[in-house]
């Protein structure tokens, strides 16, 4: 378990470090791994087929003329991620200091990559450098051995400042997009205090497929369907026909997803259900009134806010069925699961 003191120490150590300090890259990643409670990268082997989780992972490309070019991934974990530091790598600095071009297949020499790290944070030059680093990571992903497949995540780091997260769960390498969304894809150093952020990074290291929103949506839908099925069986046992029961539960399910999609105020429907715990017999009247407001696009006394009009025929029929306390609790569980 990561303690607040550990997090504070890590942030204090790295806050204010210069973006061009290349020697910091590996130390930062090793420290981050300790903070997340995951294994750090292993030592690289001469045989690249054994280098599934290492710093400076070499990738090669046949130029088609009998020659081969190569590049180095700053940090690579097979099946999980490529991490590219904005400022390049320690090998880049060594090559640049020795006057070597460090010829690679990606259109950037070691000197270019080192220079990329000198842009001042927050400037257009800095933003451009981060975009260039992402492009470099995408080209490295393309150059990986075919049997490795495309990594689901690309991480672009300005060491000691932020990590940008991009994901493509299609396995095609054609749709690396900001993850989980435009508002949260850039993880600032201070964001590591947030347990959800640390959990997300930990999953990128250990179980990246668990973050696939499509797979998650499928799991959530199955779980909710199982919960609602228990309510359906109880209602039908009380004499309600299957069509009436399924229509009622479909309206409940749509309202849950409307809440999750913020088509109605966040948390409002879940709270409405919770508010009826003391008097579950009142819920059917609250639901009927809510669905009438959703159908017409008018003020909802049940939620206390005006609602947009929901087109279609789902809420033309507003019948809500009476539920007992146990059935209400199942709906609350389902709403919290979305």
The predicted structure's pLDDT at residue 101: 46
The predicted structure's pLDDT at residue 104: 46
Mean pLDDT over each residue of the chain, to the nearest integer: 88
What confidence tier does 8 reach under pLDDT thresholds 50, 70, 90?
very high
The predicted structure's pLDDT at residue 196: 94
What count of other Cβ atoms lies within 10 Å of the Cβ of residue 148?
Answer: 13
Q: How far is CA 256 from the centre of its chain?
A: 22
Residues linked to residue 59 through DSSP beta bridges, in sequence order? 71
Residue 50, CA distances (Å) to 46, 105, 143, 153, 257 in order: 8, 22, 17, 21, 45
The predicted structure's pLDDT at residue 146: 93
The predicted structure's pLDDT at residue 245: 95
Q: 196-224: per-residue pLDDT in tens?
A: 999 999 999 999 999 998 887 778 788 88
What confidence tier does 113 reach under pLDDT thresholds 50, 70, 90?
low
Q: Using CA atoms, how far apart are residues 144 and 128, in angstroms rounded to an integer? A: 25
Does pLDDT of 125 surpass 90? no
Q: 222-256: per-residue pLDDT in tens?
A: 888 899 999 999 999 999 999 999 999 999 999 99
Least confident stretch, 9-13, 114-118, 269-273: 114-118
160: left (phi over 0), alpha (psi -120 to 50) or beta: left
Percent of the chain at pLDDT exceeding 90: 68
Three-class DSSP category at 87:
coil
- Residues 277, 278, 282, 284, Cα dihedral to 10°: 20
Q: 254-269: per-residue pLDDT in tens?
A: 999 899 888 999 999 9
| pTM over the 0.75 mark | no
Higher-confidence residue of 62 and 183: namely 183
The predicted structure's pLDDT at residue 195: 95
Q: Using CA atoms, how far apart are residues 234 and 326, in angstroms rounded to an integer? A: 10
Q: Using CA atoms, how far apart are residues 134 and 156, in angstroms rounded to an integer? A: 6
């Amino acid at each position: 378990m990561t303690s607040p003191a550990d997090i504070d120490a890590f942030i204090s150590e790295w806050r204010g470090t210069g973006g061009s300090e290349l020697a910091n890259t590996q130390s930062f990643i090793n420290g981050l791994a300790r903070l997340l409670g995951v294994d750090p990268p292993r030592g690289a082997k001469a045989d690249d087929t054994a280098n599934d989780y290492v710093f400076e992972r070499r990738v090669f490309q046949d130029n088609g003329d009998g020659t081969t070019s190569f590049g180095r991934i700053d940090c690579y974990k097979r099946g999980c991620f490529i991490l590219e530091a904005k400022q390049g790598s320690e090998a880049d600095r060594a090559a640049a200091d020795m006057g070597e071009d460090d010829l690679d297949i990606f259109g950037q020499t070691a000197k270019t990559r080192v220079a990329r790290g000198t842009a001042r944070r927050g400037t257009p030059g800095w933003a451009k450098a981060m975009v260039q680093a992402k492009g470099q990571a995408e080209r490295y992903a393309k150059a990986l051995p075919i049997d490795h497949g495309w990594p689901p995540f690309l991480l672009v780091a300005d060491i000691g400042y932020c990590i940008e997260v991009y994901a493509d769960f299609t396995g095609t390498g054609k749709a690396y997009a900001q993850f989980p969304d435009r508002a949260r894809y850039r993880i600032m150093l201070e964001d590591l205090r947030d347990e959800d952020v640390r959990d997300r990074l930990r999953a990128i290291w250990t179980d990246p497929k668990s973050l696939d929103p499509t797979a998650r949506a499928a799991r959530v839908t199955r779980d909710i369907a199982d919960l609602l099925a228990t309510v359906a069986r109880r209602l039908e046992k009380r004499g309600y026909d299957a069509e009436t029961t399924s229509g009622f539960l479909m309206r409940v399910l749509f309202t849950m997803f409307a809440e999750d999609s913020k088509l109605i105020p966040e948390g409002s429907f879940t709270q409405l259900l919770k508010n009826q715990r003391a008097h579950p017999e009142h819920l059917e009247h609250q639901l009927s009134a809510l669905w009438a407001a959703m159908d017409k696009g008018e003020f909802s006394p049940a939620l206390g806010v005006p609602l947009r009009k929901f087109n279609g025929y789902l809420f033309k029929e507003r019948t809500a069925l009476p539920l007992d306390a146990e059935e209400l609790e199942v709906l609350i569980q389902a709403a919290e699961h979305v």
